[in-house]
Structure 1
Amino acid sequence: MSRISAAGQETETEPALTKQRVFLFSALCCLVYFTSYMTRLNYGAAISEIADSLAISNQAAGMALIGGFIAYGAGQPIFGLLGDRVKPRYMITAGLTATAVCNLAVSALHDISVITVVWCFNGFFQAMLWPPLVRIMAQTLTSENYRRASVSVFTASSAGTIAVYLLVPLCIWLSGWRLAFVATAALGLGIAAVWFVGVKGFAVREWIVDEKAVERPVRESTGALVMASGLLPIMLVVVLQGALRDGITTWMPTYLNEVYRFGNSISILSTAILPVFAIVSVSAASFVQRLIGNELKTVACIWGIALAAAAGLTAVYASNAAASLLLMALLTSCANGINLLLISRLPMHFAQYGRISTVSGLLNAFAYLGSAVSIYGIAAISHHFGWKATIVVWGVIALIGMLLCALCVRKWGRFTAGGPEKVKVLRVSVND
């Protein structure tokens, strides 16, 4: 099987996985990420109905989402560090089980304060899933298979989003919003069992130095790597894409209901168009990245498309429902493409330093910091200044993201073109 060496090169240590085994492993990873979205986005999909049912404001109902995103972001660096040390099989199983329990608890609660606390725990447990998933994918698959699997995993997240925005209206129509949490809890428990049993044959092994010796990669100080790679401004870009992606996804049903009077169920159902476009966008972003070669240059181009979409949406936001839906879908598609490159692909450059899970968790934390800010911020801006002002803010976000990426292209290119021998940072012992 091909592994990544301490020098950042792949080495063959045993016959590569068969296509069937690669497919099975990728399918298991996709199931995990699909389920994580089902058990995390269901609250946002049902937020308008929850607010009406409990007779509270959208802002009060949104506090649970904000708390969940903050807890998710806070847990990312913690479980990112643990993800480089604890077996992914156990960490992911525990995370899925815990988030299922939280979903089941929400289905039985009536006090928004208690629901908010439980959803914060749900966000924290959700943070146990992505960092170890990136690690086990990187250590099990070749670089080419990893690239393909990462697209499949992000496609699974879009499929999970579609499923949520189909499931929640159905549950509301059949029985009420609580049924949506019971259903996702059952799914979470089922997939936890499937993962625990199915991934056993793909246990993470040690990193390979050469064909005869087995050793972990030489670790670098995380802080030094952040400085050497220019990761600080990239983190701000990650915040911006998180704000754009989850802000639109969360409040689009409210926008459609307030501007076009679609009603809660139809507004939620209409939001299913967003992940359909996202599935195409991640594949397109992956293809363009292979042509350009520099993640930040590719992301800068995608931000430019998002800026154009926001400008178009500003012109038609209240006059053409179909055009508004399509332009919002394009905006979130751009954010999803950026998310693929920054959250999944970019951390691969830190694998040779033994920091892939750590960096992945760190970047994901900043993504959901943006999500948490945008959920309250969009509600406040739309309430006080209207939806046109809100859309202008989305355009400003895209512009800032494009400029930041353009400024970071050269430094990131130098970092990725080098390697451990060219990055002048302090090496630390594996056993520290």
Structure 2
Amino acid sequence: MPGVEAMRASVRYSTTVPFGTLAAYGLAALCSAMGCWRAVFAAAGLFLTATALCWLRGMRVLAPPLPAAPARSAARAAARPLPHRLPAVLALICLAALASGMIRDGIQTWTPTYLHDIYGLDNTFAIVLTFTLPLVNLCGVYMGKWANDHIFHSEAVTAAAAFLAACALLAAPALGVRLPLWACLALLGLCAALMLAVNTMLVTLVPLRLQNTGRVSALSGLLNSATYAGSTLSGYGMGLLLERSGWPAALPGLCAGALAASLLCAAAAHGWKRLRG
């Protein structure tokens, strides 16, 4: 797929993430209202199985046939060798992607718990209110793309700005300020949208900028794995932190993580500017 079309398709593909999150929250709220949490896991397992079967069937039609050996050799010969500065820049971007996964899932996974603990909401109602996060997330993809195209002209700088904005938004609750419920939901929604903008920059667009290296799939897989590693660490790390120290430690931790990730992206910006051309 040509570079411009690949960019557009990838940005649109990124919008499927909020829809999946919305469906997950809806399923959790329904099962919570029915008083049957085990049904969440059973329904999710059945849905994933059906999706896997559809994927295997659909890829038979969509996947192009493998080229002949001479064609593969010619494609490898045409691919530009990896720039010598790429490993150092990629290491910084991977660490930032790891942080984005931690912050994104730290917000999305633990928002119902936060609303229950701080505002005393019923668990089911807290999950229903959390529906606002993926709805706001949808604008994060296009917000990040617009800022990158019209203001920053660099995926690393755009991600750094998004991390810094998230840090600023999280500063008030991290300092113990109890905002009105609507303001808290708006703040958390904007932070989640900013993390999706970061994900679009680092995981979706960075590999496509290096399309001429012939290693888009490998780079995309590496950055995706960093994001999901951050998500896994967030699930266990936030739970442990909340159990031991509560929200007065968890929120400053998210704030500090966003600031550190902003600095990582800023450090990668100069090298990335030369790599992306």
Same fold flag (TM > 0.5): yes
Question: Is 2:36 the partner of 1:169?
Answer: no
Checking the alignment, whether the CA contact within 8 Å between 1:300 and 1:405 is kept in structure 2 is yes
In the TM superposition, 1:26-37 aligns within 5 A as none
- Match of 1:230, SS state, is helix
Residue type of the partner of 1:266?
A: F
Residue type of the partner of 1:323?
A: A
Residue in structure 1 matched with residue 98 of structure 2 by the alignment: 239
Cα offsets for 1:379-429 (capped at 9, x unmatched): 233333331332222221121122221222111111122xxxxxxxxxxxx
Question: For 2:14, which of 154, 159, 164 is the aligned residue?
Answer: 154
Higher helix share: 2
Question: Is 2:180 the partner of 1:320?
Answer: yes
Checking the alignment, whether the CA contact within 8 Å between 2:92 and 2:267 is kept in structure 1 is no
Residue in structure 1 matched with residue 145 of structure 2 by the alignment: 286
- Cα shift at 1:222: 7.2
- Cα shift at 1:348: 1.4
Checking the alignment, whether the CA contact within 8 Å between 2:86 and 2:275 is kept in structure 1 is no
CA distance in 1, matches of 2:113, 2:83: 41
- Cα shift at 1:241: 0.8
Checking the alignment, whether the CA contact within 8 Å between 2:209 and 2:276 is kept in structure 1 is yes
Of structures 1 and 2, the larger Rg is shown by 1
Closer, same or farther in 2 for the Cα pair 1:257/1:416, shift >3 Å? same
Question: Is 2:127 the partner of 1:268?
Answer: yes
Residue type of the partner of 1:238?
A: A
Checking the alignment, whether the CA contact within 8 Å between 2:176 and 2:248 is kept in structure 1 is no
- Cα shift at 1:331: 1.3
Listed as ranges, the gaps of 5+ residues in structure 1 are 1-140, 208-212, 418-432
Higher RCO (C-alpha 8 Å, min separation 6): 2
Question: Is 2:39 the partner of 1:179?
Answer: yes
Question: For 2:48, which of 188, 199, 224 is the aligned residue?
Answer: 188
Cα offsets for 1:327-347 (capped at 9, x unmatched): 111111111110111111111
CA distance in 1, matches of 2:54, 2:143: 31
Checking the alignment, whether the CA contact within 8 Å between 1:278 and 1:332 is kept in structure 2 is yes
CA distance in 2, matches of 1:245, 1:340: 13
Give the total of aligned pairs.
272
- Match of 1:217, SS state, is helix
Cα offsets for 1:131-185 (capped at 9, x unmatched): xxxxxxxxxx332332222222221111010111011111232361222233333
Listed as ranges, the gaps of 5+ residues in structure 2 are none
Checking the alignment, whether the CA contact within 8 Å between 1:316 and 1:324 is kept in structure 2 is no
- Cα shift at 1:317: 5.1
Residue type of the partner of 1:146?
A: A
Question: For 2:118, which of 259, 266, 274 is the aligned residue?
Answer: 259
Residue in structure 1 matched with residue 194 of structure 2 by the alignment: 334
Residue type of the partner of 1:243?
A: M
Closer, same or farther in 2 for the Cα pair 1:370/1:205, shift >3 Å? same
Checking the alignment, whether the CA contact within 8 Å between 2:173 and 2:179 is kept in structure 1 is no
CA distance in 1, matches of 2:49, 2:245: 43
Root mean square deviation, CA, Å: 2.6
Question: For 1:399, which of 255, 259, 262 is the aligned residue?
Answer: 259
Q: Which moved more, 1:365-374 or 1:302-311?
A: 365-374
Checking the alignment, whether the CA contact within 8 Å between 2:7 and 2:208 is kept in structure 1 is no
Residue type of the partner of 2:262?
A: M
Question: For 1:371, which of 231, 239, 258 is the aligned residue?
Answer: 231
Residue type of the partner of 1:388?
A: P
Checking the alignment, whether the CA contact within 8 Å between 1:317 and 1:388 is kept in structure 2 is no
